Structure 1
């Protein structure tokens, strides 16, 4: 029987709704009753590592979480890991773990949209499904996975799409890479490329801005004066921005502050298509770094990670094409 670690970090999956309808952290993790029913699936050990709401998660805590997982793998000779997490920042933690954990052991991140005592609570089922995936031979070598609602997603592509629906986690354009059924765990495709950057700390300050109609240079100027090491911009459509911010962007680039471009659209990639002022082609000529489908929050984390290795713009551009 495989040895699976279930590590808790908090979130709705570890919370209860009180008599006034407010959901809040619980001193005793309600998932313990579910853990007992997993003995037929795997040999499960539990690590109550954190008990924080998802919005309290930070990149620094994510790095410490990665260190904790490495320590447990080395000490316990684990076959797989399940991390329970709040859903608001789940995709970010999963993606950062995917970037810094350089191994093939299955790591599955899961959560819940409904607290433990709400009608139709999805936490116990998601935990059971995640342990089944972590114990699956086919999960080996597929990077960090996200499992909720009987679907298996890659950390790179998954995102939260609905504020309350239990089917909130989706992978735009690509869909889930597998499903969990009563009969088994089934994978039907996988990523063609995995990357790893095994850093041990994050020291860079990277900001994230979303473009909007009529945006002027004042926001960029304010961000630029805050000692940032990098900037990610969620642009319109295929990668276009208001022309009024172009001089401010050029000034940042002249100061050797890398600017990474993503689309604020739900699907698609940025491209150097339009040649008008603020269009993708003019941004490319300016030296803005284009991505290959990452959303803004993940591009920010990736820029924080890769800036620990290099600040060369050509190298950064190549890294963001993966």
Structure 2
């Protein structure tokens, strides 16, 4: 029987209702989670490692980076076939993307969580853990990068995002759809994720910020970040990469301090492209050497920039990471 290491970090999947605070709080250990799913014994031998027990909003990029290193250490063992990470859903897609880029192993790395706490009616955590272990133990999952397993669907880490605040069907891959499904008796893959790149620095650049563009936005926040100065900035633009006039001035101010700026979009699907040439378009900012973020959401572009800055500070070399 194959062995799967389950690394627990906390999140709703490890929470119970507390009558004093009248809300969900961290209360369930990693071993408790596994004991709640007796069917796991028929799928794989499970080894539980508790990385943390915190809400996912408390997870930092450095913790995500450390988690990637831990996953690699366990994956190096010959007796381990795959890794499962249990995690809160609020930042789950960011951790999944970090692991997709920073983990070196070719073995399956599957992330999952829950939208209902362990003490709620119909908790979805046990079913999600069972599905994630099934995928991690599957030969077909080899070489497919980090995978997010939720609601019996398999999503590629680079494509998936949270789309609903409370629904158990919250995770989707807009424009792409899941790469596979989990049934009671088997794992079925439909396609192979493309462009499975790796960025594996020794250290992570943590001081990288994300700003969301809105109508009437001014230069204030850009100047504050430039004066700090931050190590990098991601801007979620409008449409295919357009910003208000004052935001263009703010981006150019940040670039004048030699701080890399990646332009993403606040739209759910599609690439950032220099389709327009008016003041504030992506094309109008080319002279400042901004980096176009492709199809990445702002939060994922930030994760990639943090990793890339751990390898180089050169703007043109950074651009090549995003051209991929």
Q: TM-score range by the shorter chain?
A: over 0.9
CA offset digits 1:14-69 (Å, max 9, x no partner):
11123464111105454132354311101111112210111000011111112222
Q: Distance in 2 between matches of 1:6 and 1:155?
A: 18
Partner Cα separation in structure 2 for residue 94 and residue 43 of structure 1 = 23
Question: Distance between the aligned counterparts of 1:136 and 1:217, measured in 2?
Answer: 51
Q: What residue in structure 2 maps to residue 23 of structure 1?
A: 24
| Alpha-carbon offset, residue 246 of structure 1 | 2.2
Q: State yes or no: 1:236 paired with 2:249.
A: no
* 1:1-322 superposed matches below 5 A: 1-19=1-19, 21-29=22-30, 30-75=32-77, 77-322=79-324
The Cα offsets for residues 282-315 of structure 1, whole Å up to 9 and x where unpaired, read as 1223311002200011100100100111222222
Residues 187-223 of structure 1 deviation map (CA, whole Å, 9 limit, x = unaligned) = 1012221101122321341110000111111121112
SS in 1 for 2:304: helix
Is the Cα–Cα contact under 8 Å of residues 206 and 229 in structure 1 kept in the other structure?
A: yes
* Contact kept? 1:213, 1:242, Cα under 8 Å: yes
In structure 2, C-alpha distance between the alignment counterparts of 1:282 and 1:104, rounded to whole Å: 41
Per-residue Cα deviation, 1:100-120 (whole angstroms, up to 9, x for no partner): 112210000000000012112
Describe the superposition over 1:106-157 as per-residue Cα deviations: whole angstroms up to 9, x where unpaired. 0000000000121121000000000000011100000000000000001111
Compute the displacement of 1:74 (Å). 3.0
SS of structure 2 residue aligned to 1:152? strand
State whether residues 3 and 46 of structure 2, in contact with CA within 8 Å, keep that contact through their aligned partners in structure 1.
yes
SS, match of residue 65 in structure 1: helix
Q: Secondary structure at the match of 2:303?
A: helix
Shift of 1:321: 1.9
**Whole-angstrom CA distance in 2 between matches of 1:200 and 1:109:** 23
| 1:76 Cα deviation from its structure 2 partner | 6.1
* CA distance in 2 between partners of 1:62 and 1:77 (Å): 24
Number of matched residues? 322
TM-score by length of 2: 0.96
Structure-2 separation of matches of 1:28 and 1:272: 49
- TM-score (normalizing by structure 1): 0.96
Equivalents in 2 of 1:285, 1:233: separation in Å? 17
Counterpart Cα distance in 2 of 1:202 and 1:231? 15
- Give me the whole-angstrom Cα distance separating, in 1, the residues matched to 2:299 and 2:165: 16
